[in-house]
Structure 1
């Protein structure tokens, strides 16, 4: 049996078992009905992808399925999240029919953006209760960042590549942010969207655990079967163990998704009545992030827990307890069989794969030199500088494994300031809205704490990875949820100002 079919059998087996558990995360008949519909489309798209043998055949099958699913969907962001990771982030070129080289790169994620988010965008534009884009401070920073990106692209782009870049920014960045920031208006909307996101991420955890334990990447053969490019499904190891990918495309991207899943789950878990189900769900996400063997996301996950605890009741006592448990765990782990191997995998204290840490430190040092050569708006040929050429690795690539450095190198401190400022104002809006709630134990307050923790977790994690695979799409989406949360709280309190 071809590997792609063997992978399909394993994934369907894992998915069937997981969905049996996941239905227990729903808390109402409406949520259960939505879960069943979205589960069926996830299974259908997975089957179609593995059986199609061509991405174009998959596209022909997927488009009617997406149109049908979207027609029966009351919460497009939830549908988008639920099926976003069903197929890896890899692309194929749409031929230019002799007019241009190619029209644009198409992927599973872009199919969802075009046939789920784009209809939602046009629908939102017609509603009188939707805040026009540009009215909030995060909107302004976001728009300025996108405009700057387009203007700076003129340094190296011709007319067709410029049109292509604008299109990518619109569907990959603007659409997720706009639709998420304008669609979610009531607590049920937020609960539904985040539940879909958590389930979509959580299903990757047992798949990742399988890959980690069997040294077999389940989605690798799919990329070859669909004849896709720009995929990152490579076998990477650390400490003699395979770093799992699932459909995330890279082990750090998988860990990043688990960080977001953990942050979102901290909001959802209160509504889950069964303590066993509640703990098992969190345990799955922790297993997923461990299977990635990615230290940056591990630090991001710790950040999520710290911020979540720090914004709740008895924060000091609980943070002291958490610190004490961590300090006591080290000597305990060290005396267990294989304990030192575990400790050596940890960031800061570990020694396994130290070359990766040395590379990142050298990248930071060299990038600072290059940034100061063109500090305001960066340069289009930064990779040609001697400092960057010195970073070329054995694979003959220069891997800028830091989103902030990547932005600063290509767009300067102005671009970096707009990017960081955007997230800073989203975080400020979430924090102020959360603090303004009279009931600190309400569901709204819990959502604010979870969003705040997730946003901080994202900002920490992307310090260790560039904008690969699903990473930008998801952080623009989470930022959109943060803006939507701020507006929901303000409207609920009767504050009509939309500037945050």
Structure 2
């Protein structure tokens, strides 16, 4: 909480921010205790649901967006199939994002959550509607209905929760603070786990008797355990770069302190320990763009000139070729796999362009992509969506994730309000970092923590737009 000192929000002073930070910390401690100490999934679900209901009554509405992020990222997906009764084999697949979303919706007391007032609302809903209808192609109609319920909570619920809560600059900045706060906690846990080779959250698999591998696996690279907590290594790197952008915005103009330097150091150390070179390059590029945009058109010109001068220096030194190979990761087998996946994926999309096919992995072309684990890993979120649900669904998703933030930034850039421009710039660069990075990793999964995070941030755009 020391990293939040001197941060003020609109009419709220640093004391108010510190108070909200303490509430976030207590919420995280209690939630984590519920997960690790109950040793029973149903008791955990009941206690966490009660906790959310209590917190929504006690914490001011403008601070509840940050609370949602603290709780969402405070635990991994915790996916578990709930067994059925009276002839039903199963009810549905529960997960932590689903429990959190349902609890937030049921605890809402200030009007309806699901209101359609803008184009992006319909884009999100139509994205879900296409996915939901096509999910009815499952082997049985009841299975299809179960997945429709899951994906409604994956797509619509986090988006409309964010839209409801983020109404102005104060609520958006508190969302930024909540995100940076939980990412600092995850960064500390990730660095500790990586250096100590301790799979902290993996113990929840057996403790809560999870019958789904909802917690991401921990992998080694170069003898090091890749940093990973409630998010996988690649997702953690993406999320950490986003935290750097938002904390840079929040701490702008505040006096440099040990807390501030320690926070940035911890984020960058976490990013390094994820050993995810794709997000490294993307994140650094977007971060450079963010600081260049802060200086307006001159900053962008300086950025281009600086890159050109650096390239000329490398060329004169005779190392440009090797450096470019390293930056493009041509020495990595993962890149060859991703390139092959993209070629095969686009070819398969052209066969079923409009509505995709759920069993696309059974196509003969994908047999060449089977890895050592015996699976075809679709490490590209856009391909995931297009292959299973078609380019129409992908189009609505791209509109919400990319076109919507661009339009928000352009409106802010045309205004004369400097503060609005700054918050829109931070939001745009944050979303850009996510949009580019998920080209390298799968995210659209049942029980995923990261995809609800994406959809929540799409909804935050309403607060930025209505600054």
TM over 0.5: yes
Give the conservation status (yes or no) of the 8 Å contact 2:379–2:441.
yes
1:78 to 2:66 alignment: yes
The residue that corresponds to 2:424 in the other structure is 448
Checking the alignment, whether the CA contact within 8 Å between 2:169 and 2:463 is kept in structure 1 is no
The CA distance in 1 between the partners of 2:313 and 2:372, in whole Å, is 37
Q: Please give the alpha-carbon distance, in whole angstroms, between the structure 2 residues aligned to 1:256 and 1:147.
A: 28
Partner of 1:410: 388
User: Which of 3, 24, 28 is equivalent to 2:5?
Assistant: 24
What is aligned with 2:25? 39
Structure 1 residues 324 and 221 mapped into 2: Cα distance closer, same or farther (>3 Å)? farther
1:429 Cα offset (Å): 2.4
Counterpart secondary structure, 1:123: coil
Instruction: Decide which of 289, 292, 297 is 1:307's aligned counterpart.
Output: 289
Match of 1:396 among 374, 378, 385: 374
Q: Which residue of 2 aligns with 1:480?
A: 459
CA distance in 2, matches of 1:417, 1:76: 30
d(CA) in 2 for partners of 1:457 and 1:114?
28
Aligned counterparts of 1:356 and 1:320: Cα–Cα separation in 2 = 29
Q: What residue number does 1:460 align with?
A: 436
Question: Is 1:355 equivalent to 2:333 in the alignment?
Answer: yes
Among 198, 216, 222, the residue aligned to 1:239: 222
| Alignment-derived partner of residue 6 in structure 1 | none
Q: 1:438 aligns with which of 411, 416, 419?
A: 416
Deviations 1:149-175 (A, max 9, x none): 112112225332232222222222111
Partner Cα distance (2:249, 2:397) in 1: 26
Task: Please report how far the alpha carbon of residue 465 of structure 1 lies from its aligned counterpart in structure 2 after TM superposition.
Answer: 0.8
**Contact between 1:263 and 1:454, CA under 8 Å: does it hold in 2?**
yes
Task: Give 1:264 shift.
Answer: 2.0
CA distance in 1, matches of 2:273, 2:92: 34
Deviation at 1:399, TM superposition (A): 0.4
Structure 2: segments with no counterpart, 5+ residues: 9-13, 316-322
CA distance in 2 between partners of 1:275 and 1:344 (Å): 37
Equivalent residue of 1:203, what SS?
helix
Give per-residue Cα distances to partners, 1:280-309, cap 9 Å, x unaligned. Answer: 322221112111111232133124213313
Query: TM-score by structure 2 length?
Result: 0.88
Report the 3-state secondary structure (helix = DSSP H, G, I; strand = E; otherwise coil) of the residue aligned with 1:81: helix
Q: CA deviation at 1:325?
A: 9.9
Answering whether residue 303 of structure 2 is matched by residue 319 of structure 1, we say yes
Tell me how far apart the structure 1 counterparts of residues 378 and 248 of structure 2 sit (CA, whole Å): 32
Structure 1 unmatched ranges of 5 or more: 1-18, 127-131, 332-342, 490-500
Q: CA RMSD in A?
A: 2.7
Q: How does 1:244-255 map to 2 (within 5 A)?
A: 244-248=227-231, 250-255=232-237
* Matched-pair contact (CA < 8 Å) for 2:353–2:391: yes
Q: What SS does the aligned partner of 1:94 have?
A: strand
1:403–1:466: 8 Å Cα contact kept in structure 2? yes
1:386 is displaced (CA, Å) by 0.9
Q: TM-score, normalised by structure 1?
A: 0.83
| Aligned: 1:428 with 2:406 | yes
Which secondary structure does the structure 2 equivalent of 1:424 belong to?
Answer: helix
Structure 2: distance between partners of 1:69 and 1:271: 32
Correspondence 1:371 to 2:349: yes
CA distance in 2, matches of 1:348, 1:245: 24
The structure-2 alpha-carbon separation of the partners of 1:124 and 1:261, relative to structure 1 and needing over 3 Å to count, comes to farther
1:466-489 CA deviation, whole Å, 9 max, x = no partner? 114322111111111123311x14
The answer to whether the Cα contact below 8 Å between 1:76 and 1:116 also exists between their aligned partners in 2 is: no
Secondary structure of 2:328's aligned partner: coil
* Aligned residue-pair number: 448
Q: Alpha-carbon deviation of 1:141? A: 1.7
Query: Does the 8 Å CA contact 1:259/1:301 hold for their aligned counterparts?
Result: yes
Per-residue CA distance 1:328-349 (angstroms, 9 max, x = gap): 9999xxxxxxxxxxx8996415
Taking a change above 3 Å as real, the CA distance of residues 81 and 101 of structure 1, as seen in their structure-2 partners, is same
Q: Deviations over 1:30-74 (max 9, x none)?
A: 222221122112111212211222222222332222221111011
Listed as ranges, the matches of 1:174-323 within 5 Å are 174-228=156-210, 229-248=212-231, 250-270=232-252, 272-313=254-295, 314-316=298-300, 318-320=302-304, 323=307
Q: 2:36 aligns with which of 50, 75, 86?
A: 50
Moved more, 416-425 or 30-39: 416-425
Post-superposition Cα deviations, 1:386-428, rounded to whole Å, max 9, x if no partner, equal 1112111111111000011111111222222222122233123
What is the alpha-carbon distance in structure 1 between the residues aligned to residue 358 and residue 119 of structure 2? Answer: 29
- Is residue 259–residue 300 contact of structure 1 (8 Å, CA) maintained in 2? no
> Which of these residues, 84, 102, 127, is aligned with residue 114 of structure 1?
102
